[in-house]
Structure 1
Amino acid sequence: MQALRQFLLLPLVAALALAEDNSVESMAGYYCCCSSTGVPSCGASLHNLNKALRISLQANAACTWQIQRNENKNIRLIFSYFKFAPSSSCETESIKIYDGPSTNSSLLGQVCNDTDAVPVLQSSSDSLTFLITTNSVPFTRNFFVFYYFFSPETKIENCGGQLTGPNGTFISPNYPAAYPEFTYCVWHIQTAKNTKIKLEFQDFFLELDQNCQFDFTAVYDSVTTNTGLIGKVCGRSHPTFESSSNVMTVVLSTDYANSYRGFSAQYTSAPLPAPVGPDPFLTCSSDSMKIVLSKSYLASLGYSETQLQLNDPSCSPVVTDAVVFSFPLVSCGTIKKDDGQSITYTNIISPSANGNIITRQKSLQIIAKCKMENNSTVEVIYIAKNDIIQNTSAVGRYNVSMSFYNSDSFSQAVLQSPYYVDLNQTLFAQVSLHSTDPDLLVFIDTCVASPEPHFGSLTYDLVRSGCNKDDTVVTYPPLKHYGRFKFSAFRFLRSFPSVYLQCDVLICDSNNANSRCTEGCISRQKRAVSSYMWKTNTVVGPIRLKRDLRSADHSESLTKADAEETPNLQQYNFYTLSFMVLISNIIIVIAVILKHHIKHQAGYSYQKIQSSY
């Protein structure tokens, strides 16, 4: 009977979904059209509290949608379906989302053909803009996007959270009653190390749609919702998912109509299978990428070190006890990707062609990614059904240093430490990025001075959010891998022996004309968050006044003279003491003799006289 009810209910759900689909298409659909000149014209200015858009674009389009409404709320924008031209890249086709009323606002994110997620972006205010550009390839691009205004303070019971036990359960809001409209919930699951997660939905009932555009659940093989999408599901089913590591993220997103029961889910954890030989090892630096493979691991797959190659076959490994691929980030066929918030360098190790028509070996593909950001290192290994794919990613760091220079030519660095200067002397500072990637730009965001090397509570702003806070500071225009500025030696050095300088540095893609590195000073009224790839800080110091150097030299000379005079003084004091002891002894002897003599005379003077009576 239960199966019969589900069978009869499915056509009804499909009909409702089709009705909403047609409603969205007729009421909210925006299609790119062509003017009499043949130039694509599209986009719109939207002021609704919520709206769904079905967008269809052809080649050579550049369409801008602006969302703005006088609301004390934020905007959530969801691209639940997107289809770009095949083989397009982020450089040729993309959706760029800006946190503000125009494309001059801060870049929130970017969606491309290879985006491995359901993009969900949130504004910081009541305005948001997105721009869709397409290349010249003849193809119909289709997108479905909806947005709504929401209050971040609003909390929904059973909506998301952290799950850390070895197993557990969670449900959608209001389950088994209908879930609320405009719901966005995120559950982060993390189990013990060296385990994997199995997720099962015992009950699952969301709005039915062929592409799950309206209400959907997305599952990620990752700690975030930015990458690692395993699947997106809706309708009625009992889906199951399995992670490749001890982390998994689950998302529930709903629109404004046709709410159903939601879901009840359970997860369990199990040990990961033991690896065959040491795992591939990846290290990333500012200049290069290094991949180390064990021979035993390759042998277990039926390969030798002579059968592997990078994207560029001319880059050969160094073979010793292990197989080592080491190469600069911008060589050997490495693919560079700018996703609006970070830079990722990717290369692939795969078997070289042997000229045979067939093979009985397992297909091996090792994908190495260096992602330049400040997150923790992530390594992911998973096995597909037919092919063995070893996917290893690591977070790298750009090598940044800061030095003082003798002049504004920045040709000769100051090597002495401490750096002794005159009060009000002009000091020239340069932040240098050491990288082989020529398309990077350095921007000095903030610089503070402190008399303490750990930068405690006492600090002084020189630069803040790209704005000069000290009257003597002069910043130079960005010059690729260098950020430069000058300032006068601080007056508060009179009260402290040393001063240290710490600068927050942003690194951007120089090809992005709207990055944070090109915006310059951002006032406090504007939101100081924009597109940059990487952020770090660097410290230089100490700086000291030359009068402290002279005082130190004078103190040192006095100390040395005192040290030389000390033996003579000690010898003089010894002779003086000996002489005084001798004189004291003589005086004591004389006193004893005199006393004895006086006593002897007194005996005769007081002798009793005999009486004559």
Structure 2
Amino acid sequence: MRALRQLLLLPLVAALALAEDNSIEFTGVPRCGAALHELHKALRIELNANANCVWQIQRNANQTIRLVFSYFKFAPSSSCETESIKVYDGPSTYSPLLGQVCNNTDAVPVLQSSSDSLTFLITTNSVAFTRNFFVFYYFFSPETKTENCGGQLTGPSGTLTSPNYPAPYPEFTYCVWHIQTAKNSKINLQFQDFFLELDQNCQFDFTAVYDGPTTNTGLLGKVCGRAQPTFESSSNVMTVVLSTDYANSYRGFSAQYTSAPLPGPVEPDTFLTCSSDSMKIVLSKSYLASVGYNETHLQLNDPSCSPFITDSVIFSFPLTSCGTTKKDDGQSITYTNIISHSANGNIITREKDIQIIAKCKMENNSTLEVIYITKNNIIQNTTAVGRYNVSMSFYDSDSFSTPVRQSPYYVDLNQSLFAQVTLHSTDPNLLVFVDTCIASPQPDFGSPTYDLIRSGCNKDDTVVIYPPLEHYGRFKFNAFRFLRSFPSVYLQCDILICDSNNTNSRCTQGCISRQKRAISSYTWKTNAVVGPIRLKRDLRSAGHSESLAKADVEETPNLQQYSFYTLSLVVLISNIIIVAAVILKYHKCQAGYSYQKIQSSY
């Protein structure tokens, strides 16, 4: 009987083991690097010291790749400089750097490519230690939406459920819920029902909860299996993520959140804004008073930069002044200044020390503003992500002195067109580099498109790229017209902005093919669009009603004036003709009577 029970248990044990492996394809995967072409795959990676391994994901699928590092264990106390995972947006490590994972990453990294290829490099230091990583990827179409998947929740309380709940959630699910309640409150999140795939490290399906408005940092926890977890935020914002792989779906979850007032002193009415030109920090006087600070004793790195004090304490200063420091980390440029409490001249003090670290991090796509507060309610770190202000215009000559204001811009076929990208910033130590420019007859840059510049190299024989000049990127090309009689041409350029003090930045390298591009690529990337461009012969064509209508509007006053004078002249001539006819008829009558014989009455 005992043997029979053991025999019956064998299929159950095998099924559990299979569920734990989650149908992961590990067979034949090289231990250090591989070229991957499947639509989805999971990798369990184990590396030792001095590894330098590259995995390339590429497939002609015309889709986006999502890469999830659901578990990573580096050597203890390793630094990001010596041991990390670097992810590149393209087919090689010469492609633009998409993100980095290392020992101090306080998140579950999820990265997405902008095309159908992606590369990641794992580097380890010389410490003898077995590193373990679990990563899975899959291709997906961004336009495909899952119902009831993520969103914004802004009420004082609310509920959220996984897609299809209580039915099994879909495969390849990635949902993000952003919860925001009233100021001076915190969020309590309670999962009433929770059933995800069970795994010791939650590598397959998991829910991650973050103490803040993004998924970049502040991980409160990652859970899976059967549980009823609860989470509490330190402020009025929280982020919840659901990520699933391609096997073993379960019921999912149902959760409820509530908000409650924050204890202690009033939360500071404090914010930081960043622009291309300046940094602005606003501190409420009521909060400073609640923690025992005098607003007149606050100062920046450069004490000569004084705040403007009204109902609030306002520090507003250019990015490159008041002791602001600048750091280029290869992915973004960060400007940092520190507000501290100046000494009052006494030998000792019983006042608490205050230090506000304000950072403007210039990145590609973000409007994030975050305030960090320590346990004793003193502001510790204020961070905002800003955007450089970039514009692009056509100019009438290679002197680039007079911009073209008309729109559409009517040109002759093969006419030389001069384009300039301008960075509006007070930081003089920045370079602008035109990396890629494409032309399209559609304003949304759908098919067809035509490459003018690619990776800093001219792809059209008429393109001339001028050397970088301070905050300007310039080039020229000859006007052309798309086949199939498209009337307009639009231009979109990818712009890179680098620190001019970095001699190895992408902005200083000029034309380099993607295969040979240096790892130290761009710092900040954006794009600019200009157009439409149209041919002058189209302006003369009756078929282009928009241009003719505009011309008609401009000529209306003159036409009306001309019509008035013409009508007056016609009336005058008509009157003259009528008068002349009357006079002529009168004279004819007189002449007739003179020659007529008078008949005799007898």
TM-score range, shorter chain: 0.5 to 0.7
Larger deviation, residues 268-277 vs 582-591: 268-277
- The 5-angstrom pairing of residues 88-167 of structure 1 reads 94-99=84-89, 102-112=92-102, 115-121=105-111, 128-132=119-123, 144-150=132-138, 152=140, 160-162=149-151, 164=153, 166=155, 167=157
Contact 1:107 1:515 in 2 (8 A): no
What displacement does 1:141 show? 8.1
Counterpart position of 1:351: 341
2:175 counterpart of 1:186:
yes
Could you state the TM-score of these two structures normalised by the residue count of structure 2? Answer: 0.65
What displacement does 1:472 show? 1.8
Q: Determine helix, strand or coil for the equivalent of 2:32.
A: strand
Q: Determine helix, strand or coil for the equivalent of 1:380.
A: strand
Q: Distance in 1 between matches of 2:127 and 2:269?
A: 42
Counterpart position of 1:64: 53
Q: Distance in 1 between matches of 2:569 and 2:147?
A: 89
- Deviation digits for residues 489-523 of structure 1 (CA, Å, limit 9, x no counterpart): 5579xx99x98864423224465969699695889
> Which of residues 443, 446, 463 in structure 1 aligns to 2:434?
443
- Deviation digits for residues 212-253 of structure 1 (CA, Å, limit 9, x no counterpart): 778754212445423343344568674322363355223456
- Deviation digits for residues 251-273 of structure 1 (CA, Å, limit 9, x no counterpart): 4568999x999765322346889
Counterpart position of 2:272: 282
Q: Distance in 2 between matches of 1:114 and 1:96?
A: 14
Q: Determine helix, strand or coil for the equivalent of 1:44.
A: coil
> Which of residues 477, 483, 506 in structure 2 aligns to 1:487?
477
Cα-Cα RMSD: 6.1
Q: Distance in 1 between matches of 2:145 and 2:488?
A: 50
Aligned amino acid, residue 122 of structure 2: L
Contact 1:55 1:142 in 2 (8 A): yes
Aligned residues: 538
What displacement does 1:200 show? 1.4
- Deviation digits for residues 39-76 of structure 1 (CA, Å, limit 9, x no counterpart): xxx9813579543335565xxx5723436699989673
- The 5-angstrom pairing of residues 314-325 of structure 1 reads 314=303, 316-321=305-310, 322-325=312-315
2:45 counterpart of 1:53:
yes
- The 5-angstrom pairing of residues 557-576 of structure 1 reads 574=572
Counterpart position of 2:546: none
Could you state the TM-score of these two structures normalised by the residue count of structure 1? Answer: 0.64
Counterpart position of 1:10: none
Contact 1:64 1:130 in 2 (8 A): yes
Change (3 A) 1:272 1:488: farther
Change (3 A) 1:579 1:281: same
2:265 counterpart of 1:250:
no
Q: Determine helix, strand or coil for the equivalent of 1:219.
A: strand
- Deviation digits for residues 100-127 of structure 1 (CA, Å, limit 9, x no counterpart): 6642344331125654422233566586
Aligned amino acid, residue 362 of structure 2: M
Aligned amino acid, residue 55 of structure 2: Q
Change (3 A) 1:339 1:356: farther
Note the residue ranges of structure 1 that are not aligned, 5 or more in a row. 1-15, 22-26, 29-41, 524-529, 550-555, 608-613
Q: Distance in 2 between matches of 1:540 and 1:532?
A: 27
Q: Distance in 2 between matches of 1:276 and 1:282?
A: 18
Q: Determine helix, strand or coil for the equivalent of 2:151.
A: strand
Change (3 A) 1:421 1:76: closer
- Deviation digits for residues 366-395 of structure 1 (CA, Å, limit 9, x no counterpart): 443434345453333465432233765444
Q: Distance in 1 between matches of 2:173 and 2:308?
A: 51
Q: Distance in 2 between matches of 1:316 and 1:397?
A: 24
Contact 1:517 1:532 in 2 (8 A): no
- The 5-angstrom pairing of residues 7-86 of structure 1 reads 44-46=32-34, 50-55=42-47, 57=49, 63-66=52-55, 76-78=67-69, 80-82=71-73
What displacement does 1:291 show? 1.9
Contact 2:211 2:237 in 1 (8 A): no
Contact 1:186 1:252 in 2 (8 A): yes
Change (3 A) 1:102 1:220: same
> Which of residues 325, 329, 343 in structure 1 aligns to 2:319?
329
Change (3 A) 1:516 1:146: farther
Contact 1:190 1:246 in 2 (8 A): yes
Counterpart position of 2:295: 305
Q: Determine helix, strand or coil for the equivalent of 1:279.
A: coil
What displacement does 1:445 show? 1.9
Note the residue ranges of structure 2 that are not aligned, 5 or more in a row. 1-15, 515-520, 541-553
2:405 counterpart of 1:413:
no
2:422 counterpart of 1:432:
yes
What displacement does 1:469 show? 5.7
Q: Distance in 2 between matches of 1:174 and 1:285?
A: 42
Q: Distance in 1 between matches of 2:78 and 2:379?
A: 21
Identity of aligned residues (%): 45
Q: Distance in 2 between matches of 1:142 and 1:163?
A: 41
2:231 counterpart of 1:240:
yes
